[in-house]
Structure formats: structure tokens, C-alpha cells
Structure 1
Amino acid sequence: MTDKKLTTASGRPVADDQNSLTAGPRGPVLIEDYILHEKMAHFNRERIPERIVHAKGSGAFGKFTVTHDLTAFTKAKLFSEVGKETKVMVRFSTVGGEKGSADTERDPRGFAVKFYTEDGNWDLVGNNTPVFFIKDAYKFSDFIHTQKRDPKTNCKNAAMMWDFWSLNPESLHQVLIVMTNRGTPYSYRHMHGFSSHTLSFINSKNERFWVKFHFITQQGIKNFTDDEAAEMRGKDPDFAQRDLVEAIEKGDFPRWALKVQVMPEKDADTYEINPFDLTKVWPHADYPLQDLGIMELNQVPSNYFAFVEQAAFAPAHIVDGIGFSPDKMLQGRILSYPDAQRYRLGVNYEQLPVNRCPYAVNNYQRDGSMALGDNGGDAPNYFPNSFDSPAPDPSYAEPPRKLSESMIDRYDRNAPGENDHYTQPGNLFRLLSEEEKRHTIHNIVASMKGITGPRREEIINRQLCHFFRADLTLGTGVARGLEISIDLGRFATV
């Protein structure tokens, strides 16, 4: 162990660098957690001017059409009646690479949707996977650093990735998904999208429901094998961008069915898993998918920079009838994402055409870089005032939410009851076809063979323990692929 104390930028010693400060073991995160804010704020400013994550992406405009009545669960106006259409802008992306990286890298894919509603813009910001590598935003910058470049060599480093994953077994579920062929989608049109986070619906009776959103591709799932993806990286690193543009321009408009899982608010207290844990899924047998509508992309933006590069998404942007949850990763992103956009595009980024709400926007924000329009003209820039100026509307207030009566502390995110990292990944692997299992093991082995350095054996053995605990066939296949003799007794006790 080192004698060096971890501190904040101002020199304040840090007592816990693993867990956010929460009201009770399941959150929510407190705004007073300055160390979390400092970590995320510094992380958001590490690169200029491209996005830190999701730097390379493709986008298109389209529409969302309501096909089923779910007004019993939400009063959101965009879902108010069957047949109602709402304009959308969607941006797909890879997560870990830079702007010039290849579209077919093994990586999760971002799946961000901006709904231009009459109650403001709603950003549903997710991925093509229903889970993520970590469950607390406190670890987000640490994780992303392992996916970027080695600070010495400026090259990608497999040892960094697998070291982090092996030290954070909560990542196993997402690691396994990314190591299947779903980690290399054929195109953006042939993948699902997920909110991943748990959000909430609020209905006209002010009743709350916990929800997860699923965009189900109507083009069917289609993936590259590892070899095919590597070949395409050499042939056309912009394959997914080109595929999306060409499909829309020839009238082959991609579509997704938006479905939602709905959990009554009280169920969260007694459900067998933490419903706000981003590394877990809700089994469909318990909470089946319910149809909501169809999203269609039918317009290629006329200028990529103006409408895709400058598009800014943030899970903080919700509308009446849709709310947050105690999901610790979501709570961190609520603060972090708008902060990242203000840094990248300026404090007035929501005045840019692609981000501007097409309906009424009234506030007291003034000045700052790139203030567009008349900057509020001669209207007051303070509230309350004696003039005919915007005022709050109490009818939009959310119903109160009871917090845990636990003490405020940095709770271990993987404490007993929150530390089953193996059941869902193991179930996922056993659901794969025999061919998919072979491909997944091949992809893992190919990646782990890139681990080098003095800690290579330690990192590999630690990760093998996780694979064995998830599924014996998975662990055995990876060990054999790495030409490691198998001592099941040793792996079972590590």
C-alpha cells in the first residue's frame, strides 16, 4: 500500500474514492458531494473540443408516433393520444474512440434521442445495451480513462481495461455483452437502444411508476463477427455513418418500436434486486415490455456540424410526466452532462437550432458566450418582478418522494445484497447459441491476449475468477484459449 494520501485539487484528503455520498444505501446522491462534482467537472474538461465520450457519431431527424395508450402511467403530453407525432433527433455513437476512430470498433454504442415536445425537449440518453459497466458515477471517469489512451504510450492498453474490469466485478454483465457479437453491430440501424437507467412515469393522479425504455429495431439485429469488424475497419472506417445516410436517402427509413417496462413505485422496496442498479436488468417475466410507439428516421441533416456535432443531449432534460430515479449513475449524469455541454459548446448551447425547443422558452438567463437572438431584450432579468414576466407554474410540480431514513454516508455500492455480479451474466451466457458462445469466448480471448506488463498474470487470473463464477463453460473456454491450466478449486476460492 502507498503512503500517499489521495486529495482533492485543493489538498483535502479523500476518505472514500469508491462511493458517492447518498441518503441511504440506495440513494439519491447528495448535491453536497463536492468531491464527486470535482471529479466529474475536471473529467468533463480534459479534452477540447470534441466530446470526452461518444466523440464519433451519426445523426438523423425523424418522428415518433404513439401507437398504444399508456396514459394510465404518464401524463407526458407527447404520449397523450394514439396517433400523436413528435419530431425527434437521434444521435448514434461509439463510446471510447475519438472522432477519427472506426465505426466497427468493439464498444457499446450510444443511442440518444431528443424529443421536441410542447412541454420542452426530452432527452432519452442511453446505449445499445440495457446495462453498464459501473453503477455509481463516482467511478465513471476512472472507467473511461481505461478505455482511452495510455498516458505514457498514447496507445490503447488492454491491461488497463482488464485491470479495471477485474477489480470491479460489477462490470461483468456489460463486459460479457460487449464481448458477444453485439459489441460490433453491423450498423446503427440493426441494433436495439435502451434507456439503461431506470426513470419514472408520473400520471394525472400524481402516481409514480419506475420505468425502463427499450427501442427494438424493426430492421432486425445484425452484427459483425470480430474478423468481419476488423476487416471493415480497414475498408471503410465510416461504414455505419455511410450506411445510415444511404438508407435514409433511398427511402429505406429505419424504424424502432419503443416499448417500456413499468414497475409500481412500491415494488422497488421489496423486489429481489435493486431496480436502480445500472448493472442489472429487470426480467421480462416480472415486468413485461409494453408497446408505446414507433420511431422513424427519415431526414439526413443538411449540415453535419450544425445538427450532429453541435447536438447536445443530457438526461437532466425531462418533461412533465417523466422523472428521475435514485439510480446513482443517473444522478451523477444529471449534473455532469449539462456541465460537459456548457464546456464544449458554451453556456448558451440550448439556443443552438438543433438543441432549441421549438415551442415557448421563457427564463431569466442572460449573456454568456454565444447568446443568440435578442438576449431577452429589455425584459427583466430577475424574479420576482412587478412586470408581465414568466412565473413558475405549481401544476408542474412532481409528487413528493420519500427518502430512506438511513444516515448520510458513503455506502459501499457492492455491500451484501448488492453484490451479486454473476447470476445475470451467467444467465446471459447460457442463453446464447453454441455459435454465439464460441464467438464470445473467441472475442474475450483475443482481447485478453493483448494484456502485457508485470501484472499480466495477476489481472488475467482475477478476471478468470469472475468468468468461472458466472459460468463454468465460459471460464473454461477463456482459460483454454489463453493456454492457462485450469485449477477449478483455486478459482472457486479466490
Structure 2
Amino acid sequence: MTQEAHVTQQGPLTTEAGAPVADNQNSETAGVGGPVLVQDQLLLEKLAHFNRERIPERVVHARGAGAYGTFTVTRDVTQWTRAKFLSEVGKQTETFLRFSTVADSLGGADARRDPRGWALKFYTEEGNYDLVGNNTPVFFIRDAIKFPDFIHTQKRDPYTGSQEADNVWDFWGLSPESTHQVTWPFGDRGIPASYRHMNGYGSHTFQWNNEAGEVFWVKYHFKTDQGIKNLTQAEANTLAGEDPDSHQRDLRESIERGEFPTWTVQVQIMPDADAANYRFNPFDLTKVWPHEDYPPIEIGKLELNRNPENIFAEVEQSIFSPAHFVPGIGPSPDKMLQGRLFAYGDAHRYRVGINADHLPVNRPHATEARTNSRDGFLYDGRHKGAKNYEPNSFGGPFQTDRPLWQSSAVTGGTGNHATPSHSEDTDFVQAGDLYRLMSEDEKSRLIENLSGFIAKVSRDDIAERAIDNFRQADGDFGKRLEAAVQALRG
């Protein structure tokens, strides 16, 4: 790609209306650690515009497969949450789980080096609860205002029409918080052998609250009972060419054979009082909670046991939103989660339609949705002549006066605040910890995978900046990676 191919845009970055942008790195919050404000129109404009850039497939997570199943409670968790679907040991809840690759289009191959989406819908008696995560416990960025920019680097370049190593590594190098997550997909778990042979994670931190109103912060882990199995790059290259539908086919055929895949469900639980002074910011999506601090606790089993009958109706038209909570569960101040609370619902209203929640795969199965929303594209007239306002004197639905989650105190002035840092927060410490956990063979494969991609970068300064992030995570990591890239670049 030559310099002449670019059209240079001089001057300051602006909004769609032409107003100059003061801060394109940090969304506006109520105080330093508070929730994101609706008045941040740059954030809303970017997310809303981003969601409308592809028609009709999902902008991200376009290629996927799904199945129905059941979640069974195996431990009493009522001391932490009042969610009814978690209220007693042995209780079962119907679920629908959609797996996906993240960056590829609908026509891509399953066996590619990419995180895997993990979107799980619980059809509970108090409404649908959606848990939308990945097969990694962390993510590339910590603020949703950077998400459209990040995904633009993963998609096709506007001039070449291909994914460009320059774009990918330029962004990652300039966003050092990505170092931890980048180490995950370029390691051995970067290409799962199938959807059945990988873990899932809620990734974000969520709030649980019990009947007494006590607050706890939780992270979800889904550990595959089939065992972790992965593909080498060579194996994946062959499989992607011979059977691009390999993961979808494996999931469907295993359920058809009666070999129902299962996962052991665990949570890490942090008392609310611990959060303010924990050594890492517990709401930073680029960080994990070390297990020695908060050991995972088994709470249930997830089994997939029924295939969808129509892929378009049930997989492509399925919608998931992190904003779909039930009593006893709520959000945290995680700035990525806060942005996704808006972005996912907005994407579905655009892509599937304003009445997407009425479709069989999306509507509640264990209760009835009672709203005053009417009309719009594909409205089915289900409400007949019922009044469409509240309050009313005609027996309409009424408010409960009890929020789903507990409120959080916020202080400070509004503004574009960076995510708060805690005592041991850096962008590199956990990436270094992950590298040092690997065996020598795992480290060698990680270096090979990373160097092969970085070597494609056309500019030395972009390549060096990318390598330096890994050098700051671990000296040996950076030294070996630099040598490998230099050998490939000559």
C-alpha cells in the first residue's frame, strides 16, 4: 500500500456534525470511577454509527453457530444473589448459546486465529438474562469509545480491501492495554479445535445482590468438560480450506449423536468492600482477578442438547444484550460494559428490527413480556386493544418499585476520565505473568505466531513499538520476539 493511495485528512478530528473532538480516548463519566453519561454524544454517535456500518450481517461476531440447552444449579448461591433461576440446588433453566468468531465476515472460515464469542441466554422466570462474553477472560481495550477504532483495524482496509498488518499492529502498539489480550489469541488457545473444546467467560465484572441488599462483584467462568483442544496454525490452514464450516458442523453433529457438550460453571466473588482498594482495578476488562485472591467457586452445569431447526431464524436472528438483567444481577462501572449496554441493543434494533425481541428465539420462554411498546416493523399485534401507557386504570402492567440491582455511589465532576488505576495496575504486568506461566514449547509457538504477523508490517517504527509492548511485559518475551521478527524481515 503506497503513501499515494491515502487521502490525508488535515485538521482536528470532529464529530459527524463538524464539531472538534477534545478527547477520543476516554468516555465521559460521573466522577473518576463512575458510570458513563448519556450526555457523552461522541461516544453515542461513534457506537451508533459503528453499529450501522454493515448490512445485514453483524458488524462483529457475524459468523456463528448455536444450540439450546439447560443450566442446572449445583450450589446454593442465595447468600450472594436473589436471582430466582439461581435460587436452589437442582433448579434448571432453558438456555440458548451462540458461539462465533469475532472479526471475520459471515462467509469466513471457522478455523481462524481469532477470539470466540460466547453469548448465552437464560430463559428465566423473571425474564431473559443474557451473558455476552468471549473464550478469553480479558479484552483488547478498556473503554468502549475505542471499540469502533479497534474493530476498524481488524476489518478490511478502505483502500486495499484486505486486513492490513500495519493497521492491526499500529493500533495495538499505540494501545498498550491490549498487550495482555493479544498474548492470548497468539498462544496455543488462539485456534480452538471446536466450540466444544474451549472455555467461555463472562469477561466483564458484574454485580450480584442478595435479599438483604448486599452487593458482590462477580466474574463468570465456563470450563469445558470435554477438555481443551486446539489447532496449530498449519492444521487450521488445512481445515479452513477443506471444511470452512468445521466448528458449526462439529457442534451440530455431536448433539445429533447424543454427545451433549457440557461446561462446569464457576464464579469468582468479590465483596463490595474489597473493590476500592484491590491491587488491580476490578472493573478493568484488560485484567483478570488472580485465582489466589478470589478462587473460582463451582455453581452449576451447562449442557447443550438441542440443535436449532433453522439457522437464520434462530442463530442469525438471535439477539443478546448485556443490558438484559434480572433481579439480583446488574452492571458494574466497567467502561467497556457500560458502552455495550447501549451498543448491543442498538445493533439489534438496526439489524433485526425494533420487534426483534418478539421472535421465538429471543422472547422469554418462562414468563411473558408485558410492555407498552407498540407498532414498528414486523409488529404482530399481540397486544390487541390493550392500553399502551402506564399508569392506567384498566388493569395494565405496573412498576415493582424494586430495582434489579443496587445503586452505586459516585462523586466528582463530569468529564472524559481515564479508567482509575489501582496500586498494581500497569498495562503489562498480567501479560508478563501469562507468558511466564507457559512452558518452553508454548512460548516458542507464541513467538512464532506473533513474529509471523508482525513481520508483515511495512514500517519499522510500527513493528518496534509493537515489540516493545511485549518487552515491557517480560524481557525474555521481547528479546525472543525481536530476534524472530528480525530473522523474518531479513
- TM superposition score category, shorter chain reference: over 0.9
Separation in structure 2 between the aligned mates of residue 397 and residue 173 of structure 1, nearest angstrom:
33
1:463 aligned to 2:466?
yes
Provide the residue aligned with 1:474 in structure 2.
477
Q: Is the 1:146–1:161 contact (alpha carbons within 8 Å) kept by the matching residues of 2?
A: yes
How far has the Cα of 1:417 moved from its partner?
A: 5.7
Separation in structure 2 between the aligned mates of residue 419 and residue 262 of structure 1, nearest angstrom:
20
1:317 aligned to 2:317?
no
Provide the residue aligned with 1:74 in structure 2.
81
Separation in structure 2 between the aligned mates of residue 105 and residue 2 of structure 1, nearest angstrom:
34
Provide the residue aligned with 2:370 in structure 1.
362
Provide the residue aligned with 1:121 in structure 2.
128
Q: Which moved more, 1:440-449 or 1:88-97?
A: 440-449
Residues 193, 439 of structure 1: alpha-carbon distance in 2 compared, 3 angstrom cutoff: same
How far has the Cα of 1:416 moved from its partner?
A: 8.3
Separation in structure 1 between the aligned mates of residue 361 and residue 105 of structure 2, nearest angstrom:
22
| Per-residue deviation, residues 427-475 of structure 1 (Å, max 9, x unmatched) | 10000111111110000011112222xxx10111101111111112211
Provide the residue aligned with 1:11 in structure 2.
18
How far has the Cα of 1:27 moved from its partner?
A: 2.6
Amino acid in the other structure paired with 2:442? E
Residues 147, 247 of structure 1: alpha-carbon distance in 2 compared, 3 angstrom cutoff: same
Separation in structure 1 between the aligned mates of residue 32 and residue 153 of structure 2, nearest angstrom:
27
Q: Which of 51, 70, 92 matches 1:63?
A: 70
Provide the residue aligned with 1:101 in structure 2.
108
Q: Which moved more, 1:405-414 or 1:287-296?
A: 405-414
How far has the Cα of 1:266 moved from its partner?
A: 1.2
| Per-residue deviation, residues 90-133 of structure 1 (Å, max 9, x unmatched) | 00000000001111111000011000000000000000000000
Provide the residue aligned with 2:5 in structure 1.
none
SS at match of 2:189: helix
Separation in structure 1 between the aligned mates of residue 404 and residue 104 of structure 2, nearest angstrom:
40
How far has the Cα of 1:361 moved from its partner?
A: 1.1
1:439 aligned to 2:445?
yes
How far has the Cα of 1:398 moved from its partner?
A: 3.2
Amino acid in the other structure paired with 2:101? T
How far has the Cα of 1:26 moved from its partner?
A: 2.1
Amino acid in the other structure paired with 2:484? G
How far has the Cα of 1:81 moved from its partner?
A: 0.5
Provide the residue aligned with 1:491 in structure 2.
none
Separation in structure 2 between the aligned mates of residue 104 and residue 27 of structure 1, nearest angstrom:
40
Provide the residue aligned with 2:154 in structure 1.
147
Q: Give the total of aligned pairs.
A: 480
| Per-residue deviation, residues 267-318 of structure 1 (Å, max 9, x unmatched) | 1111011000000000010101011100000111111111111110010001
Q: Which of 414, 430, 433 matches 2:436?
A: 430
Unaligned runs of 5+ in 2: 1-7
Q: Is the 2:279–2:422 contact (alpha carbons within 8 Å) kept by the matching residues of 1?
A: no
Separation in structure 2 between the aligned mates of residue 71 and residue 416 of structure 1, nearest angstrom:
30
Q: Is the 1:181–1:226 contact (alpha carbons within 8 Å) kept by the matching residues of 2?
A: no
How far has the Cα of 1:65 moved from its partner?
A: 0.5
Separation in structure 2 between the aligned mates of residue 415 and residue 296 of structure 1, nearest angstrom:
38
Provide the residue aligned with 2:43 in structure 1.
36
1:171 aligned to 2:150?
no
Provide the residue aligned with 1:211 in structure 2.
218
| Per-residue deviation, residues 205-242 of structure 1 (Å, max 9, x unmatched) | 11110000000000011111111111111111111011
Separation in structure 2 between the aligned mates of residue 337 and residue 138 of structure 1, nearest angstrom:
14
How far has the Cα of 1:395 moved from its partner?
A: 3.4
- For normalisation by structure 1, the TM-score amounts to 0.95
How far has the Cα of 1:375 moved from its partner?
A: 3.8
Residues 319, 221 of structure 1: alpha-carbon distance in 2 compared, 3 angstrom cutoff: same
Provide the residue aligned with 1:300 in structure 2.
307
Q: Is the 1:104–1:230 contact (alpha carbons within 8 Å) kept by the matching residues of 2?
A: yes
Q: Percent identity?
A: 52
Question: Equivalences for 1:474-493 in 2 at 5 Å?
Answer: 474-483=477-486
SS at match of 2:171: helix
Q: Is the 1:61–1:88 contact (alpha carbons within 8 Å) kept by the matching residues of 2?
A: yes
Q: Which of 401, 405, 417 matches 1:394?
A: 401
Amino acid in the other structure paired with 1:5? P
Separation in structure 2 between the aligned mates of residue 139 and residue 118 of structure 1, nearest angstrom:
36
Amino acid in the other structure paired with 1:326? P
Amino acid in the other structure paired with 2:463? I
1:192 aligned to 2:199?
yes
SS at match of 2:185: helix
Q: Is the 1:193–1:214 contact (alpha carbons within 8 Å) kept by the matching residues of 2?
A: yes
1:420 aligned to 2:426?
yes
Residues 414, 449 of structure 1: alpha-carbon distance in 2 compared, 3 angstrom cutoff: farther
Q: Is the 1:367–1:375 contact (alpha carbons within 8 Å) kept by the matching residues of 2?
A: no
Separation in structure 2 between the aligned mates of residue 360 and residue 204 of structure 1, nearest angstrom:
24
Residues 397, 194 of structure 1: alpha-carbon distance in 2 compared, 3 angstrom cutoff: closer
Separation in structure 2 between the aligned mates of residue 101 and residue 129 of structure 1, nearest angstrom:
21
SS at match of 1:462: helix
Q: Is the 2:326–2:404 contact (alpha carbons within 8 Å) kept by the matching residues of 1?
A: no
Provide the residue aligned with 2:274 in structure 1.
267
Provide the residue aligned with 2:4 in structure 1.
none
Q: Is the 1:173–1:424 contact (alpha carbons within 8 Å) kept by the matching residues of 2?
A: yes
Amino acid in the other structure paired with 2:371? N
Q: Which of 440, 448, 451 matches 2:454?
A: 448
Question: Equivalences for 1:213-228 in 2 at 5 Å?
Answer: 213-228=220-235
How far has the Cα of 1:397 moved from its partner?
A: 5.0
SS at match of 1:65: strand
Separation in structure 2 between the aligned mates of residue 123 and residue 222 of structure 1, nearest angstrom:
27
Separation in structure 2 between the aligned mates of residue 306 and residue 35 of structure 1, nearest angstrom:
34
Q: Is the 2:278–2:422 contact (alpha carbons within 8 Å) kept by the matching residues of 1?
A: no
Q: Is the 2:205–2:331 contact (alpha carbons within 8 Å) kept by the matching residues of 1?
A: yes
Residues 416, 282 of structure 1: alpha-carbon distance in 2 compared, 3 angstrom cutoff: closer
Separation in structure 1 between the aligned mates of residue 421 and residue 297 of structure 2, nearest angstrom:
33
SS at match of 2:402: helix
- For normalisation by structure 2, the TM-score amounts to 0.96
Q: Which of 233, 238, 255 matches 1:231?
A: 238
Residues 450, 60 of structure 1: alpha-carbon distance in 2 compared, 3 angstrom cutoff: same
Separation in structure 1 between the aligned mates of residue 80 and residue 73 of structure 2, nearest angstrom:
14
